[in-house]
Each structure stands twice: as structure tokens, then as C-alpha cells.
Amino acid sequence: MDKIKGLAWSNLEETGYVIMENKKSLRGVSGSLDYYETDTSKSPLKIDNAKSEFGALFNINSPYQVTYEYCSGTSSDDYLNSISLSAKDTFFCQETYDLHNHHFHEAAPHFHNYFEIMMILSGTVVQRIENKSYLYTAGDCCLLNRNLRHYENFLTESRVIFIGLSVDYVKKLFMYFQNAAFNEEKAFLDSELYSFVMADIDNDKGAFKKEYLDFIPTVQEQEKIGVKMRDIAEDMILTLLFPSFGAALKMDSLMCGFLGALSSPSNYHHTRVTLDYGGDFLLFMRIGRLLEECNGRITRAELEKRLNYSGHHINHIVNKYSGMCLYDYAMTFCLKRAAKDFADTGDSIGDIIARLGFTNRTHFYHMFRQMYGVTPKQMRARQKKD
């Protein structure tokens, strides 16, 4: 079989399944028009208390599972297809968009007894976590701890991957990293992802927190890491659909590669968010991450495109948490970088100013003195004296 192209992942005819982006009848797959009504005995996921007003509990019955969801749009004629794969089972579900949208607004959110990573391949998805909503666009990822109830909905035609990992399987992978032969592998143990997951595992010992880990691709690696993560996810799906000798070891390798790439600060900005923080605070943190990466030199239009919010709203959020307009807040990152370069490099003051995009040297000196109380030359002299 040829490698599945792009993001479509449609028409896996050789398996006897016709999945994802068509409405043809399905052969050889258990499924239903309503996931909450169907018999999930052949699914990698089991649902307890599906009609609970507090929230259904999703259980995983294998070390890992991969779910691919495709939403064709948001009209009454549109639909949602979902296929869940594990080493044991394959399960397909199709429902109308109207039914899914009804569940989003009327049904209680669900939670897991396993770790779930959501990765947006394309489109725009809203994640309702407890009673707050958060917006995710292509390239973004999210990892919820097991104490949070949530539900996803689609605002556009979208493609999403969900990777579920049992607690025992996570412990097994983490044990590998702890005993890894290469020091480069052990760097994972210092990551925010490792810390977050271990904190959740410790919840079993009596602690209790409601928080999640937010990932947005760095500006520099956005396109490259997007392709890499899609390739890994695609390889997982193909391995689960067409297993051969060594498939289990290959899945372990792919999972390690996925977690390693996701944990790298050069690939993603990581923000740990507790339930006490609202969606506005997360947006403010995302703005700050991007401004920091670009030394404040990212345009309002670029932020609009990357964050999928209007420039007016972005400016409002920045002002809410910093008391400054977007331009002034961005300049603080630019000036902090200038101060760092004055202290840490031997580059001329003029070269540093030019490198940061300033054409008016007098304007830069005015802002720098306003922020630090000294001129660049005085700061550099003070650093040498110290």
C-alpha cells in the first residue's frame, strides 16, 4: 500500500474500511451514529456512566490507542468520523455534526483514567475544560491531567489526532528514559512534559490538582515540527492497521519520538495552566511566549493569524494583564534582548540596535533609558565593572 498522503488519510481500502472523509458504508468495523449510544465492547475505549450529569469516564483497555477524527464542517449536512485504533481493537464511529454539537452544549464533559494528548492537524477546535473554553488551531497540542473534565467541538472543517496512554505504559516509557544509554535521551527528564505527567501520577498518592499542559509551536520550527509530528502520527496509524513482527517495539519507538519532539522547547512553547486560570490568561501566556521568541518583533497581523484572535482582542488581553498596549508590551521583550546582548556579547551597540530592527537610534535610546534608567553605553560599562 502506498503511504497515506498529506492530511486526508482517507480510503484505506485494503483494510476493508472506508474511513474519515466520505459517507460510504463501513465494512468490518464496529460503529454507530452516536458514540454515547453504541456498544463499545470492541472499542479500545470503554465508557462508564455515559449518561451521567457529572461526566462520563473514558477507560483505556490497552497500553495505548490512537484516535483520528475528521469533521467535514459545521452545517446540518456535515458529519464527524472517528476511528480509534489499538493493538487489540479498531472502532469506527460516525455522527452528524448537529448531534456532536448537541453533545457539546448539552452533555456533561468526560474525563479519562489515562493520559490523552490532542494534536490539531488542521482547522479550529474549541476545547471545553470544566466550564471554560479554549481555542486550538493547526499545530497546537494539549495534554490534560486525569482530574479534568472536557469536551471538544469543531468550529471549521478539522482533522485531529488523540493519543491515549495508559498510566502503566507511561511509567514503562519513562523508565526507559530514566535508564537511557544516551545522555541526550535523559534530557527528557528535565522537560516540562515529564514534570507535568509525574505530578499527575503522584495524584494517585493523595495529591489533587486540576491542570493541563498547553503546547504551541515555536515560530522558527512551526512548519518543520508540524510535518514531523504528522509523519509520526501517520506511522502510528499504519503500524496499528498493518502490524507485522516487531510492531510493538516500533510503536514504543514512535511514542518515544513523539513525546521527545513534543517536550523540546525548541519545538514548542509549554505552558502549565491550573483550573483557576481562565482562557484569557492562557492567551496572554501564548502572546508572551511568541513575543519572547521573536524578541518582540512579531507583527499584530502575524499574531492574529497564529492565535486566531482579532488584533483588537489581543491588544485587550495584553492590556488586561500588563497594563500596556500590545506595541509597548512587545517593546519590553525587544529591550530586554538588547540589554542581554549588551551584557553578554562584544557586538557594537549600533549592530545590536540594527539587529533588533530599529532604524531610529534616538528613539531606541529614549525607550531604553526609560526602561532601565541608563544608556546602553552606561549599562555595558556597569556590567564590565561588576
pTM: 0.74
Q: What is the dihedral of CA 113, 115, 120, 121, to 10 degrees?
A: -110
DSSP state string for 155-169: SSSEEEEEEEE-HHH
Closest CA to 84 of 99, 64, 102: 64
SS3 38: coil
Could you give the domains of the chain? 13-277 (2.60.120.280), 289-385 (1.10.10.60)
Mean pLDDT of 57-86: 90
- Flag whether pLDDT at 92 surpasses 70: yes
Question: Which pLDDT score is estimated for 51?
Answer: 67
Q: Pairing mode, if any, of strands 111-112 and 90-96?
A: unpaired
Closest CA to 217 of 305, 278, 150: 305
- Flag whether pLDDT at 350 surpasses 50: yes
Question: Which pLDDT score is estimated for 385?
Answer: 67
Q: Compute the distance between CA of residue 137 and CA of residue 129 in angstroms, rounded to an integer.
A: 16
Closest CA to 296 of 328, 339, 340: 328
Question: Which pLDDT score is estimated for 42?
Answer: 61
Question: Amino acid identity of 140?
Answer: D
CA 52 to chain centre: 28
Closest CA to 138 of 257, 305, 283: 305
User: Which band of pLDDT confidence, cut at 50, 70 and 90, is reported for residue 308?
Assistant: confident
- Residue 277, judged by CB atoms within 10 A of its CB (0-12, 13-18, 19+), counts as middle
Alpha helix stretches (DSSP H) within 94-207: 97-106, 167-178, 183-186, 192-202
